[in-house]
Chain A
Amino acid sequence: DSGVTQTPKHLITATGQRVTLRCSPRSGDLSVYWYQQSLDQGLQFLIQYYNGEERAKGNILERFSAQQFPDLHSELNLSSLELGDSALYFCASSVEGNSPLHFGNGTRLTVT
Chain B
Amino acid sequence: AQRVTQPEKLLSVFKGAPVELKCNYSYSGSPELFWYVQYSRQRLQLLLRHISRESIKGFTADLNKGETSFHLKKPFAQEEDSAMYYCALLEYGNKLVFGAGTILRVKS
Which residues in A have some Cβ–Cβ distance to B below 8 Å? 2, 4, 31, 33, 35, 42-45, 48, 50, 55-56, 58, 90, 92, 96-98, 100-106
Instruction: From the candidates B32, B36, B42, B94, name the one contacting A56 in the complex (CB within 8 A).
Output: B94
B94 close to A98 (CB less than 8 A) = yes
- The CA of A58 and the CA of B95, in the complex, are separated in Å by 8
Q: Enumerate chain B residues within 8 angstroms of A33, measured Cβ to Cβ.
A: 96
Nearest-CB residue, chain B, relative to A41: B100
Which residues in B have some Cβ–Cβ distance to A below 8 Å? 32, 34, 36, 42-46, 49, 86, 90, 93-101
- The CA of A21 and the CA of B99, in the complex, are separated in Å by 24
Q: For the complex, would chain A's binding face be called helix, strand, loop or mixed by DSSP majority? A: strand
A2 close to B86 (CB less than 8 A) = no
B94 close to A55 (CB less than 8 A) = yes
Instruction: From the candidates B34, B90, B99, name the one contacting A42 in the complex (CB within 8 A).
Output: B99
